[in-house]
Amino acid sequence: MPTPEDGVSQPVPSAWRPILAAVVDRFAVGDFGLAQSVAGVAPIPANLADDIRAIVELTGERLAPLPPEAWERASAEWYSDRWIVLVDLWTTSGPSDLVMAGRMDETAAGLQFTVEIVHTP
């Protein structure tokens, strides 16, 4: 885990990246509710999955798996008692305006990521 400093943006740790990339991989094939579960990721409620699908459809493009350069802009920020992770999403045409935001927790079972929103900031 990175060192918690309130409100300080830090690079996403390499240990977190496979979990986050796996979520985006599922989104890229249209699985916004994670029907195929991803290890280390909380289930996505149906209403949130519908919201994510709708915002992605508004772009008129399909999401793509994260390229290596996506991590250059991804960030983790500590807020009082949790890590908030922001990952810019890409489409098949290149970088998009969409961002996946969520919470990363360290649990007894290991890392646990919870998708909170996909939006255009």
Dihedral Cα 41, 42, 44, 45, nearest 10 deg: 180
- Asked if residues 94 and 50 have their Cβ atoms less than 8 Å apart, the reply is no
Identify whether 1 is part of a domain. Answer: no
**What length does the chain have?**
121
Please state the rounded mean pLDDT for residues 89-102. Answer: 97
Identify whether 2 is part of a domain. Answer: no
22-48 residues labelled b (16+ CB within 10 A) or e (exposed): bbbbbbbeebbbbeeebebbbebeeeb
Q: What CATH code is carried by the domain that includes residue 86?
A: 3.10.450
Query: Could you give the number of structural domains in the chain?
Result: 1
Confidence (pLDDT) at 110:
87
Look at strands 63-64 and 75-79 and give their pairing: unpaired
Per-residue pLDDT tens for 11-68? 999 999 999 999 999 999 999 999 999 999 999 999 999 999 999 999 999 999 999 9
Identify whether 4 is part of a domain. Answer: no
Give the DSSP letter of residue 40: T
Distances (CA, A) of 50 to 33, 38, 56, 105, 118: 8, 18, 10, 24, 11
For residues 17 and 14, what is the distance between their CA atoms, to the nearest angstrom?
A: 5
Confidence (pLDDT) at 2:
65
Confidence (pLDDT) at 34:
97
Q: Which domain holds residue 57?
A: 9-119
pLDDT of 6 > 90? The answer is no
